[in-house]
Amino acid sequence: MERISELMDGELEARDAQRQLARLKQDQELALCWSTFHLIGDALRGEGPLSREISNRVAMQLAKEPTILAPRSYAPKRVATYAVSVAASLSAIALVAWIAFFNNPLAPQPSEIATAQPAPAVTPEHLASVPSEGEANDLLRAHTEYSPSTAIQGLAPYIRSVSGTQQAKGQ
Amino acid sequence: MKAVWATVWLGLATPVFAAAPAPGDDGVAWLNKMASAARLLNYSGTFVYHHAGRNETSRIVHFVNTAGGEFERLEAMDGPLREVIRTNDQVTCYLPGTRTVIIEKRSARRFPALLPERLAGVSDSYAVRVTGKDRVAGFDCQVVTLVPKDKLRYGHQFCAEIANGLLLRARTLSEKNEPLESFVFTELKIGGAFSREQVRSKYAPKSRDWKVDTSSLVLSDVATDTGWSLKSQPAGFRKLTELKRSIAGRAAMVSQIVYSDGLAAVSVFIEPLPRAQFPQSLSHQGAINIYVRRVSDHMVTVLGETPAATVMQIANSLEFRGAPGR
C-alpha cells in the first residue's frame, strides 16, 4: 500500500512505477487503495471524473470510519497495515478536516456574508504605501497557497514572494 | 460500502476530461476550466511578470505523471537566481544568492480553492463576462473579464486558451482600470511527455549545506479556532480557513485566517510582538497590499491581492475574543 502511495506521489523510478502499475491491475485490493487515494485528492479539489454526489457519499462513509485513515499518529503499531506515506496521510488528515469544515454548523454560510462595515480607523489616505522590500515574503508565500487565484495560475504567483526587484530583506 | 467502492472504481475508469462541458459564454465555467487546465495539463513555457513598470521573466514547467502526481518548476531568468519547485503538496524555494532553501508544506493541494462552490461565489462580487477573443504566445484565447461590483476588490482580465482553458494571460486592474500587474506567457508548449528531469531542482545537489527553513504542517495546523475574528467582514468576503501554523524563519506558531471573495484572498497573520519596535506600515507589490499594525500584544500582518483599503479595513476590524479551550 505504501508503494502505491509513493507511486501516486511520483516517488518511484520509472521501472519500479511500471511494476507497481502492473500489480495494480492484478490485485483488486490494491486497486481499491489506488482509487481511494485518488478519490481523496478529487474530493479535496472538488472536481474530477466523479460526480459531486458520489464524492459526498463516499466522504460521508469516510467520516463514519475515520479510524481507517487518520489514527497513524496515535497507534502506529496497531494500524501498521494502514500506514501510508506521509504525503498520503496528510491528504487524509486534510480530508477529515475538510469534512469537519463542511459539516460544521459554525462554519460560515453564504447567508452570513457581511454586507455592511464601519469606516476603518486608519485609511490609506492617512498612511503612504511604500514598495514592498520583501520583509513579508514568508507570509506572502503562506498566503499564496490558500488564494483561489493561485488555483487558476499554477506556480506563477509564487514569483511575487521571491521577486528579484525587491531588496529581499525578508530572505 | 462495497457498492460505493465499486461505483468509485467505475467512475475512475472514465477519462478525466469527460466531466468538463464546453463553457461557452459562462464566465464562471471558464474559471473552473482554467483551474482544471492549470492542474491537469503538461506545459512548459516562458512568462513575464510585469509590475510597477518592471518585467521579470521566468521559465515554468508543469507535468502530471501517469499516477496523477503534479510537478512544477519555476526558474527566474533575470536578476538574482531563484527557483521554485512544487511536488504535489510541497513548495520548495531555492535562493542560491543567500544559500537558503525554504520548504512550504501545504495541508492539501490548493485546498480549498478549487471547490466549485467557492468559485461560484465569484459572481456575487464581480460581473463575470466572456468578452472576446485574443491571441497570446501564438495561441487563440478567450477573454474573460471580472468587473468588481464595489471598491473592495480589483478587476481582473484573463485570457484562456480556447480549446483546453490554460490561462495564458492574467491582468489585475486598479479602480481606475489601470494594470497593476500581469502574468503573460511569451512562449509556450502545451502537451509533451512527463519528464522528471525537467521538474527537478538544479540546486538540490548543491544545497545540502544551505540554510533550510521549514514550515511543515502538523495536525494542529488544520482548521483551528485561533480566538481571533473580525467585528465585521468586508462585503462579499467569507472565511476560507483558520489555522495555527509554523512559518519559515519564525520560532513561534502563527495564527492565519484567510478570507476570500471566491477569487481574491486576504490573509491575516497574528504573531507575538517582535523584540524590535515596529511602526504600522503599508506596502505594496503589484496587486498585493501589505498592512502591518499592532493589536493588543500582537503583531498583525494583513496581506492580499485587494486594494489597500480592504486589507486595512480587515486589520482594523480584528479583535481577540479570548483564548479557546482555556
CATH number at residue B276: 3.30.200.100
Which member of B112, B217, B301 has the closest CB to residue A98? B112
Domain shared by B162 and B277, yes or no? no
Domain shared by A154 and A99, yes or no? no
Domain shared by A96 and A141, yes or no? no
If you search the block for the grid coordinates 511527455, which residue do you land on? Answer: B193
Cα distance from A31 to chain B (closest Cα, Å)? 8
CA atoms within 13 A on the CB side of B308: 20
Identify whether A124 is part of a domain.
Answer: no
Identify whether B152 is part of a domain.
Answer: yes
B positions 217-236 inside 8 Å of A (CB)? 217, 219, 222-223, 230-236
Identify whether B16 is part of a domain.
Answer: no
Domain shared by B142 and B254, yes or no? no
Among B211, B243, B260, which residue terminates a domain? B211
Identify whether B105 is part of a domain.
Answer: yes
Domain shared by B118 and B169, yes or no? yes
Query: Cβ–Cβ of A142/B1 closer than 8 Å?
Result: no
Domain shared by A90 and A147, yes or no? no
Give me the mean pLDDT over the B256-260 stretch. Answer: 94
Higher pLDDT, B195 or A168: B195
State how far the Cα of B67 lies from the Cα of B85, in Å rounded to an integer.
Answer: 19
pLDDT of residue A70: 41
Give the highest mean pLDDT range of A29-38, B10-19, B141-150: B141-150
Higher pLDDT, B93 or A90: B93
Domain shared by A73 and A138, yes or no? no
Give me the mean pLDDT over the A58-82 stretch. Answer: 45
Alpha carbon B319 to its chain centroid, in Å, reads 26
Domain shared by A78 and A153, yes or no? no
Position B3 pLDDT exceeds 80: no
Pair B291, B311: CB distance under 8 Å: yes
Position A71 pLDDT exceeds 50: no
Domain shared by B47 and B142, yes or no? yes
B29 shares contact with chain A (CB less than 8 Å): no
Domain shared by A44 and A96, yes or no? yes
Domain shared by A85 and A43, yes or no? yes
Position A161 pLDDT exceeds 60: yes
Query: Cβ–Cβ of A93/B121 closer than 8 Å?
Result: no
Higher pLDDT, B74 or B276: B74
How does residue A64 score in pLDDT terms, banded at 50, 70 and 90? low
Domain shared by B207 and B238, yes or no? no
Identify whether A52 is part of a domain.
Answer: yes
Which member of B35, B235, B247 has the closest CB to residue A142? B247
Residues of B in contact with A123 (CB under 8 A): 309, 312
Domain shared by B75 and B145, yes or no? yes
Instruction: Name the DSSP class of B53.
Output: T
State how far the Cα of A146 lies from the Cα of A87, in Å rounded to an integer.
Answer: 18
Domain shared by B169 and B141, yes or no? yes
Domain shared by B49 and B197, yes or no? yes
Nearest to B92 by CA among B244, B201, B246: B201
Nearest to A50 by CA among B89, B116, B98: B116
Pair A158, B91: CB distance under 8 Å: yes
- Where is B44: in which H helix or E strand? strand B43-51
Identify whether A79 is part of a domain.
Answer: yes
Q: Domain containing A143: what range?
A: 132-171
CATH number at residue B82: 2.50.20.10
Give me the mean pLDDT over the A70-80 stretch. Answer: 39
Higher pLDDT, B242 or B223: B242
Domain shared by B33 and B50, yes or no? yes
If you search the block for the grid coordinates 492542474, which residue do you land on? Answer: B39
Identify whether A125 is part of a domain.
Answer: no
Give me the mean pLDDT over the B209-216 stretch. Answer: 83
Interface test with A, best of B40, B107, B213 (most A CBs within 10 A): B107
Identify whether B8 is part of a domain.
Answer: no
B299 shares contact with chain A (CB less than 8 Å): no
Give me the mean pLDDT over the B258-267 stretch. Answer: 94
Cα distance from A148 to chain B (closest Cα, Å)? 4
Give me the mean pLDDT over the B44-73 stretch. Answer: 93
Query: Cβ–Cβ of A151/B62 closer than 8 Å?
Result: no
Identify whether A86 is part of a domain.
Answer: yes
Position A94 pLDDT exceeds 60: no
State how far the Cα of B103 lies from the Cα of B207, in Å rounded to an integer.
Answer: 13
B290 shares contact with chain A (CB less than 8 Å): yes
Nearest to B271 by CA among B241, B292, B240: B292
Identify whether A113 is part of a domain.
Answer: no
Query: Cβ–Cβ of A87/B89 closer than 8 Å?
Result: yes
The interface predicted TM-score of the complex, written ipTM, equals: 0.88
B216 shares contact with chain A (CB less than 8 Å): no
B148 shares contact with chain A (CB less than 8 Å): no
Which member of B38, B237, B307 has the closest CB to residue A151? B38
Domain shared by B185 and B261, yes or no? no
Q: Domain containing B238: what range?
A: 217-320
Identify whether A122 is part of a domain.
Answer: no
Domain shared by B141 and B231, yes or no? no
Position B208 pLDDT exceeds 50: yes
Identify whether A108 is part of a domain.
Answer: no
A11 is written with which cell numbers? 516517488
Chain B residue nearest residue A71, CA to CA: B219
The mean predicted confidence, pLDDT, of chain A is 61
Residues of A in contact with B315 (CB under 8 A): 120
Question: Which is it for strands B54-64 and B43-51: parallel, antiparallel or unpaired?
Answer: antiparallel
B250 shares contact with chain A (CB less than 8 Å): yes
Per the structure, how many domains does chain B have?
2
Among B211, B242, B265, which residue terminates a domain? B211
Position A21 pLDDT exceeds 70: no
Among B211, B243, B273, which residue terminates a domain? B211
Degrees to nearest 5, angle at CA B67 with B62 and B73: 20
Pair B155, B146: CB distance under 8 Å: yes
Domain shared by B96 and B238, yes or no? no
Nearest to B109 by CA among A141, A145, A85, A157: A145
Position B10 pLDDT exceeds 50: no
Query: Cβ–Cβ of B49/A54 closer than 8 Å?
Result: no
In B85-240, which residue ranges form alpha helices assigned H by DSSP? 116-120, 122-125
Per the structure, how many domains does chain A have?
2
Pair B137, B187: CB distance under 8 Å: yes
Domain shared by A70 and A25, yes or no? yes
Cα distance from A81 to chain B (closest Cα, Å)? 19
What is residue B312's three-state secondary structure? Answer: helix
